[in-house]
Structure 1
Amino acid sequence: MPSSRKTLLAALLGLAAAVSVAHAQECPDVAPYAKAREVIEDLERIVAPGGVQEAYKARIGGIEQWLNVRGQDRANPMILFVHGGPAAPVTPSLWQFQRPIEEYFTVVNWDQRGAGKTYNAVDPDSIAGTVRISRYVDDAIEVAEHLRARYGKDKLILMGHSWGTIVAMGAALKRPDLFHAYVGIGQVINTRENERISFDYGMRQARLHGNEEAVREMETIAPYPGDRPITRERIVLARKWAQHYGGLSAFREHSRYYYRAPLLSPDYDAQDVCAIDRGSVFTLAKVLPEFLEVDYTTVREFPIPVLMFMGRHDYTTPSEPTAAWLDEVDAPYKRGVWFERSAHMIPWEEPGKTLVSLLEYVRPLAAGERGR
């Protein structure tokens, strides 16, 4: 996987800006992985008579957008998973962690506007003016309404990761009638506070480890974020060292397991894998100004049950502001679940605890939900 892609996605997963990647870059050759992809595809096949395994385009927000729907029993509650990024779809890496969840839930992964397979389905220039947070929120609502009608569900469980928590939380606040509950993973509450905490962690770790190179680099943008504009270049540099010291994947300097996952995905061909970078470059600059103003601290009442899955070592979207917000918010039901061996990539880092937490705390909130 090109180093540019690693740098880009590491930043994007934290809702940050990143280095430029040429739109003309060559797409990866997935042919050498053909046999491994066949094995994964066969393992992933849902053969249960009452199951569902569909990947298709639906008309959402005036354009064709891709949905991936998987579950062992259509009668199970349905999760709509809103991925991070922007434009970092879960579909090409779901094979790494999702299969056990599919025994108890039907899981829908949606390649958002400008992301993954949806990026390839629509001329990017034709939607450039629509890449705004409010449009993503409305898209999520349309996806939910589409799924309710297609699968005969009264309500869905809404789950967001990283950037996706901004979109999903907005959808839950705007249309609470569509959802049993909201689950935030790597929740964004206040962007500027997240940036400050992440940077301070990176600086502390660099000094603790005697990393003079890192300290010198970070001092060039200190104090961060401070009063200066939060540019793409400053964000990338601030996140570089926080993630190096385990702020993306706990106890790891790198997250190759995630970056290379699309090469083995039976759901993504070479053009789809290539679209991950291209979609990231396309969307990031357009949503960055809005992203920097995100602030959910003013939300004091939440209309549906809310749960936060928080990585103890997350310094990409730090958990501290999320825990503080959850303590103060008034909701029909609320719970925070700490993942002690995770940073930002909770479903990948602790898939077992993710499943157990969904079963123990979330599935009961959708009791009685049936589908056809």
Structure 2
Amino acid sequence: MTNKLRVGLLSTAALDVPGSMRVYAELLSQALAAHAPDIEAHLIELAPAQPRGGLSQRFEMLALPLRARRCRSENIDLWHILDGSRAYLAEGLRGAPVVITAHDIIPVLQQRGRFPGAPTVGRAARWLWRRNGRAMRMAALLICDSECTRRDVNDAFGRAGMARVVPLPVRPGLVANGGGELTAREPGLILHLGNNGFYKNRAQVLRIFAALDRSLARRLVMIGPAPAPALRELASALGIEAWVQWVEDAEDVQVANWYHRASLLVFPSLYEGYGWPVLEAMTFGLPVVCSNAGSLPEVAGDVAPCLAPDDLAGYVREIEWLLRDPAVAQARSEAGRRWAEGFGLERFARDMSAAYRAACDGVKR
């Protein structure tokens, strides 16, 4: 029998703040416990609380390698840093090879001019990503959520052959929260999930909705943090503020409910390292119209149209077609459900276990 591999999962996601990194840590722990008998995973929390900005946040950043150093006494065969934006904490690790999950490297791509018109990357972020880059170049293996991210990582850090794709799974907890009697779809309800980051392209969502036939597209629900003032001003300028509902910091029960209620998800991101909402929407049978940027064509497969982020006319055409033709919407719904079934916890655990073994074998050679 293969000896169990003892893996230290290093999480830097604050326990008191929900978010994708918190979800990733919990999903990976759950998947390995249930479906990887050859892995003995230990989740190690390095950031128990969210820093309150300013100096405290900078201190937290500097303290992470010191906290990681305290873990050296752990009996661990392999370290796994779960958030590549904190890859620099590898500086404090010794005694076992390190793997790092690179979910995306958007700040690096920004510095390289990948996104015209994007905000300038600040001095602190540039310094941080230089440290992250050094850590990623030294890691035994990089784990990427998508082939797109793997290509970006290889190009930026020269890790060809040392980066492996492990796609993210559908969240069982989210699906469970959507169980029970299904909520009826609300005709003409357009849904978007995303933060205020430039790459989420929330302004384009507003422009798309404003261009739609109002007899078909009757309401827009935007789930995420409080909108930036410029977004509210844009909604007002477009004359659509009466039809836009901002749902701030929704919990899983609310998100599942909106996935059930909506008529479709629109997702015109400028870039995504993965694009979880697309896969989640499909799990709930919600048709999707998304962009062709970043990893989204990988996540959407052949079951959703993928358009250029700035193709306003294309989004209007595809959305109105879905809203006018229930048969097309139903076919997309069924195809999406089938596609999403391939992204389960068992596959996630299997792929991750294989990545861990590959990292250890590479170090031994």
Provide TM-score, normalisation by structure 2.
0.38
Larger radius of gyration: 2
